Amino acid sequence: MKNIHNHPNYWAFIMHRLSGLALAAFLPVHLYVLGLALADSSAFDDFISWSNTPLLKFLETGLVVFLSAHLTGGVRLLALEFLEWRDWQNSMVALSCGISICAGLVFFLNAT
């Protein structure tokens, strides 16, 4: 019997779920900051100046990678669901991973 935990599609599934959870955890923080922008501009300015630290830039890069991974993982799932199976769909896991890492790298290089 084959171990399914060594299959690339299993790890794509795990990454898609983890990125979705990370984005769901980030959403309340994002809404809070948007509320600061509307309610108290000085507190928002303080938050923005605090968020320009290198650690937060690194965490933002991780957030962009998670967002990109969730997007490309969702597109991969849609292709699996609606397209007829072909051998090239097996390599979509590597393609979606590469696109996610490239998006994070572009963001990181632009943010620094």
**Domain 4-111, classified CATH 1.20.1300.10, yes or no:** yes
According to DSSP, residue 61 is labeled H
**How far is residue 111's CA from residue 63's CA, in Å, rounded to a whole number?**
13
Band of residue 26 on the pLDDT scale cut at 50, 70, 90: very high
The domain spans of the chain are: 4-111
pLDDT above 90 covers a percentage of the chain that reads: 20
Tell me: pLDDT of 27 over 90: yes
Q: Is the pTM of this model over 0.85?
A: no
Averaged pLDDT for residues 59-85: 87
- Are 33 and 44 contacting, i.e. CB atoms less than 8 angstroms apart? yes
Q: Can you read off the two tokens belonging to residue 2?
A: 């084959």
